[in-house]
Amino acid sequence: MTDTTFKYYIIYKPFGMLSQFSKEEEGNVTLADLKMTFDKDIYPVGRLDKDSEGLLILTNDKKLTDALLNPNYKHWRSYWVQVEKIPTENAIQRLNQGTLIKLKKRSYKTQPAKVALLATPPKLPQRNPPIRFRKEIPTAWLQVSLTEGKNRQVRRMTASVGFPTLRLVRHQIVDLTIGSMIPGQIKSLEKAAIYKLLDLNKV
């Protein structure tokens, strides 16, 4: 396969959509429901769970996929995370230093992260369906950046320090961002551009 046959897309994965093309159950909403027909060799790089939104890369470039999923390369992924209640400084410090979560019934200590309380909510499209607010419980937004991606890790992390996740949006991988994209939107990128944004030229 030559470089000219490689294709690169980013999408804003909507809430409720699976990060795959196959429908395992009737009623599943998948990447096949996007308003575009992709070549059969195009696959998502990693995944966002059904309840999460935001930046997802699709490509047939296995070098890019392998590099982004290889834990040795430490690519930063950043999320906007709406949580119940207002996180304390102690909770944020614990998230930054690494916190214990449950993975497959075992305890796992997360690697150091970059977590900060946002002064104002990020500008995002309304979620469909919207978050169910409770008047007596305030909410806050965090920016959480990680170099690892365990199953439902961000949700497990915020829950472990007492602040359950209500909404989770991945907005950035290294320097590649969703910008002003809306849920379901697709953008095509050139190899040189996406490799530069993902800092893959040295890989």
Would you name the residues annotated as active-site residues? 49
Quote the CA–CA distance of 43 and 68 in Å, as a whole number. 13
139 CB-contact burial (10 Å; exposed 0-12 / middle 13-18 / buried 19+): middle
Instruction: Please say whether the beta carbons of 147 and 75 come within 8 A.
Output: yes
116 CB-contact burial (10 Å; exposed 0-12 / middle 13-18 / buried 19+): middle
Type of residue found at 181: M
Q: Which residues contact 5 (CB under 8 A, 6 or more apart)?
A: 60
Quote the CA–CA distance of 143 and 197 in Å, as a whole number. 20
Bridge partners of 78, per DSSP, are 145, 172
Q: Which residues contact 105 (CB under 8 A, 6 or more apart)?
A: none
Strand, helix or coil for residue 32: helix
